[in-house]
Chain A
Amino acid sequence: EFFVANEMKQTSGSFCPEGRQFNMSSQPDKGHQKQPGNGHTHQDPNQNQNHRPQHVEGPGTPALSMPIPDVHIQYTKLFINNEWHESSSGRKIPVHNPATGELLCEVEEADAEDVDKAVRSARAAFQMGSPWRSMDASDRGHLLNKLADLVERDQLLLATLEALDSGKVFLMAFFVDLMATIKTLRYYGGWADKIHGKTIPIDGEYFTYTRHEPIGVCGQIIPWNFPVMMFAWKIAPALCCGNTVVIKPAEQTPLTALHMAALIKEAGFPPGVVNVLPGYGPTAGCAIAHHMDIDKVAFTGSTAVGKIIQKAAGDTNLKRVTLELGGKNPNIVFADSDLEYAVEQAHSGLFFNQGQCCLAGSRVFVEEPIYEEFVRLSVEKARSKVLGNPLLPGVDQGPQIDQKQFDKIMELIESGKREGATLECGGSAWNQQGLFIQPTVFSNVTDDMRIAKEEIFGPVQQIMCFRSVEEVIQRANATHYGLAAGVFTNDIDKALTVSSALQAGMVWVNCYNAMSAQCPFGGFKMSGNGRELGEYALQEYTEVKAVTIKISHKNS
């Protein structure tokens, strides 16, 4: 449950029942943070012991971690073939802190030529007989586990970079995003040598078996809302199945991806297995989607761009496509549910990560008898939210990612007012500086309003009223999206009826955003194609080869 927005305690508890993972001794020492590229190996037993104390010593003192002050941004170049490259065009991307507008640094900007270079290196790493192809599957898994250990070592640094670069609340980045990253890497580390083919009782005098082979060079294009976590979601299953990767992080948030690149090298992945190219969608992203020597592309982002990716595959080499796209997710609250709990879950289901979640529960359907009370409590909850510098403790909500998103959200808020929804609270910008938006709640929202149909991707909650189970199922499904949904009820029949009927890749019953590396994630309809996480994700990164051998005398 690493994704649970409002429950950091729960998150830490689920990772370590003893509750001692987050003591001070688990923080990496500064030498490591500043020079993570130094060869850190598992050869030296003394060094290994440095990793142990948190699991060895007695009860730790739980303490909140603090971001690293004046963090030094070390990696700003393209990562190709385990080396740092300047972009062939010489262009750079300015990287801003959305909380202040301040320029953090510039990173190299990849375009088509750099994509070509990266694909060549990924292709070379994928050649038969290469170190990567001839490696034991268990060693691939071990490399992913080592990478997880390095991320854990640099957790504080990565969380700081993530909060600076994306504006998300530092403690969320530390406990939710980074923990999820570590767990995802470990989870797929375990799968590497468990991806079983089958032997098949074919008719006739034959022996048939299947091999689950990697697809090849995988292009991966990831968004800015969970930069490091999306990076892990993408590379972990790809690498565990033995693919090579060319990954483009979002231009807004390249910093943690580049630090991950350094850790990938440090962990010992062979050159060319992972290549990281910061760049823009229409140039670098487009070059990946159109590349004739990329065997598969995985994209997470908007539905509009998802269509472009799918078309590009059709226009070129029919590369395999998996898509994780937008959502307009219904969260259905029945009158028999625990009201306060449902309010709180619906609140975090929408406002988590400044509302910048494809999963956001952005259509809250509330049963009529409790509607008014639900709205009242939701407004109370939204008003209590603390906005501010995401690096500071006590802050619940940071800025939106960039001006474009900010403007889009404000425009949708205006449309809500104009189309007759009741603005219960918020509705405008907050603070002079930075891209902050007040937590906003609309009631009396009807299904035909734009705020009920379009993905807002901001801190704007829509609360609708419903009367019957049949009605709410019909309304919840009346969308071209189908990513996630929630149901709150204590009635087992309603819970099972509604969860079966909803057209969504994830349905949460009496919870929201409860995700974990073990559970598949993906969309029905226009919310995507394929599944990430869980065992299901392995299918997206393997080709099945059936080998049939003529034999002379078959027996059972």
Chain B
Amino acid sequence: RAVPDVHGGARARPTLLAYYFLFLKLFINNQWQDAVSGKTFPTINPATGEVICQVAEADEADVTKAVKAARDAFKLGSPWRRMDASHRGLLLSRLADAIERDSAYLAELETLDNGKPYAVAYSVDLPNVVKCLRYYAGWADKWEGKTIPIDGDFFCYTRHEPVGVCGQIIPWNFPLLMQAWKLGPALATGNTVVMKVAEQTPLTALYVASLIKEVGFPEGVVNILPGMGPSAGAAIARHMDVDKVAFTGSTEVGHLIQQASGNSNLKKVTLELGGKSPNIILSDANMEDAVEQSHFALFFNQGQCCCAGSRTYVQADIYNEFVERSVERAKRRVVGNPFDLSTEQGPQVDQEQFNKILGYISSGKREGAKLMCGGGVAADRGYFIQPTVFGDVQDDMTIAREEIFGPVMQILKFKTLEEVVERANDTKYGLAAAVFTKDIDKAHYVSNGLRAGTVWINCYDVFGAQAPFGGYKASGNGRELGEYGLDNYTEVKTVTIKVPQKNS
């Protein structure tokens, strides 16, 4: 069942073989299964609007089956529980190797299903998936408890134990990468997983499921269910035998997940939600670099990033030049067939997002922002939207307050540092932020003052598996990546033993 040789890992050219080798069923207990209901749903190529194929649609009955498999795999004495931590790590390394081997194919499949440019899928998403899995592979046998000098004649130590069955609900904007972010720490720490992948983009996750089986993860350790949020997602969130749920998606759904936990078994909840991230350009910044980085910060991935720099605050004395250059850059952005290697921007993921973004553009015009370029549909089929820049945006406009999740840039003007920090923080979100300046004092002042889980200085969207990521306020709860990511998948057990006589 191997992918043909033509998919060499080093080759960066798509061959449109993505239609082959599709896995279209539910992955439960290392087996491919139809949905209990027999239902399927279509997954769409957003570049054309055409159906790629039908995929089995999980709902509550399937979730229950998958949770049962995950629970069995988690039983004391099971192969997974008995496995050396270093061997869990080795399995994750092997998974990374298998994904690296098949990365050209996976990148194609990602582009087909999601619409992101192939060049990006191949050179950004896939390498980061591989690195994330390798990173957590290394943690498996390094996640150390402590021995603790407790008062009295006792010996005290902690064990870091896995939480148990983890429900994981991931979005469609970085399907493979979000899968790796979720699986890496959960498996490194020894949990079992029931993962619901987004209905817009189920294909790559299912292919990865086949690799999970190939490299030798025991049955039931990872179960992957394509399905809809209100049915399969909700079933995970309220399941009485799921010990933890991790969700990445909208803040609106984040509220529902948290509520479901409260209404059921108080499962642990981690959330990575929306953002309206400020990107602050001080007048002493390198203009050319700041323009390019701010463009990238917003337009990367068709603007479909929770951390998109969607409020670009520019200091008054450079505001006009910055807007002019940003417009010029946006106009140069190449929108088109995502399989074309020169394409910078593909389609939005689906009709719903497409409509929503166009609605925001209308609201921007209506509320008095200045449309500098774009603003319309970019092709006669598929979900393409022109790169759009708004100038003279005010903080109270809808486009300055709500997450657009599309290629629409808002540029706002500020005068002082105190003012911009206050305005930047005046949002329910707190995911990411950036500041561009050459002044070391200002850099520290602004970065310390921002209420955001990630602050970039003179850069944007710099991610490494080593660095934690997550939100303040309504942007989420908990951290993914880095050592911090392990906390969310660990129960700490304190073991205290009476001893006859303590000595230091």
Which residue of B8, B138, B500 has the most chain A CB atoms within 10 A of its CB atom? B138
Give complex CA distance A554, B499 in Å.
46
Closest chain-A Cβ to B386's Cβ sits at a distance in Å of 37
Closest chain-B Cβ to A543's Cβ sits at a distance in Å of 20
> Could you give, for residues 171-191 of chain A, a 1 whenever the CB lies within 8 Å of some chain B CB and a 0 otherwise?
000000000000100110111
Could you say which residues of chain A place their CB within 8 Å of the CB of B84?
14-15, 17
Q: Does B100 contact A (CB under 8 A)?
A: yes
> Could you give, for residues 368-410 of chain B, a 1 whenever the CB lies within 8 Å of some chain A CB and a 0 otherwise?
0000000000000000000000000000000000000000000
Q: Does B2 contact A (CB under 8 A)?
A: yes
B499 and A138: CB pair below 8 A? no
Closest chain-A Cβ to B105's Cβ sits at a distance in Å of 10
Q: Does A42 contact B (CB under 8 A)?
A: yes
Could you say which residues of chain B place their CB within 8 Å of the CB of A186?
86, 89-90, 93
B139 and A194: CB pair below 8 A? yes
Picked from B10, B214, B216, B497, the residue with its CB within 8 Å of the CB of A496 is B497
Q: Does A127 contact B (CB under 8 A)?
A: no
Give complex CA distance A526, B483 in Å.
36
Could you say which residues of chain B place their CB within 8 Å of the CB of A516?
86
A553 and B139: CB pair below 8 A? no
A493 and B499: CB pair below 8 A? yes
Picked from A44, A145, A183, A554, the residue with its CB within 8 Å of the CB of B93 is A145
Closest chain-B Cβ to A133's Cβ sits at a distance in Å of 18
Q: At the interface with chain B, which of A22-30, A48-56, A113-121, A398-406?
A: A48-56
Specify the chain A residue showing the minimal Cβ separation from B154: A496
Q: Does A106 contact B (CB under 8 A)?
A: no
A191 and B5: CB pair below 8 A? no
Picked from B79, B86, B216, the residue with its CB within 8 Å of the CB of A517 is B86
- Given A42-B100, A138-B466, A493-B499, A194:B445 Cβ within 8 A: no
* Number of chain B residues whose Cβ lies closer than 8 Å to a Cβ of chain A: 52
Which residue of A141, A193, A196, A549 has the most chain B CB atoms within 10 A of its CB atom? A193
Could you say which residues of chain B place their CB within 8 Å of the CB of A191?
138, 142
Mark out the residues of chain A between 495 and 526 whose CB falls within 8 Å of any chain B CB in the assembled complex.
496-497, 500-501, 516-518
Mark out the residues of chain B between 51 and 86 whose CB falls within 8 Å of any chain A CB in the assembled complex.
79, 82-86
Picked from A45, A52, A207, A552, the residue with its CB within 8 Å of the CB of B9 is A45
B134 and A17: CB pair below 8 A? no
Q: Does A16 contact B (CB under 8 A)?
A: yes
B466 and A193: CB pair below 8 A? yes
B497 and A492: CB pair below 8 A? yes
Could you say which residues of chain B place their CB within 8 Å of the CB of A535?
142, 144
Q: Does A338 contact B (CB under 8 A)?
A: no
Give complex CA distance A46, B144 in Å.
38
Picked from B90, B101, B137, B216, the residue with its CB within 8 Å of the CB of A45 is B101
B86 and A518: CB pair below 8 A? yes
B139 and A42: CB pair below 8 A? no
Mark out the residues of chain A between 476 and 502 whose CB falls within 8 Å of any chain B CB in the assembled complex.
492-493, 496-497, 500-501
Q: Does A454 contact B (CB under 8 A)?
A: no
Q: Does A142 contact B (CB under 8 A)?
A: yes
Give complex CA distance A302, B214 in Å.
47
B135 and A193: CB pair below 8 A? yes
Closest chain-A Cβ to B126's Cβ sits at a distance in Å of 14
Picked from A51, A138, A187, A518, the residue with its CB within 8 Å of the CB of B134 is A138
Could you say which residues of chain A place their CB within 8 Å of the CB of B7?
45
A43 and B138: CB pair below 8 A? no
Closest chain-A Cβ to B299's Cβ sits at a distance in Å of 26
B445 and A552: CB pair below 8 A? yes
B83 and A549: CB pair below 8 A? no
Q: Does A18 contact B (CB under 8 A)?
A: yes
> Could you give, for residues 145-165 of chain B, a 1 whenever the CB lies within 8 Å of some chain A CB and a 0 otherwise?
000000000010000000000
Q: Which residues of A contact B (CB under 8 A)?
A: 14-18, 42-46, 48-49, 51-52, 55-56, 137-138, 141-142, 145, 183, 186-187, 189-194, 196, 207, 492-493, 496-497, 500-501, 516-518, 535, 549, 551-555
A-B contact pairs, 17 of them (CB 8 A): A14-B87, A18-B216, A45-B7, A48-B97, A48-B101, A49-B2, A55-B216, A138-B131, A141-B134, A183-B86, A191-B138, A196-B483, A496-B499, A500-B155, A500-B499, A551-B441, A552-B441
Given A14-B87, A48-B9, A187-B142, 5 extra CB contacts under 8 A: A45-B9, A137-B466, A145-B93, A190-B137, A518-B85
Q: Which 4 A-B pairs have the closest CB atoms?
A: A190-B138, A551-B444, A43-B10, A496-B499
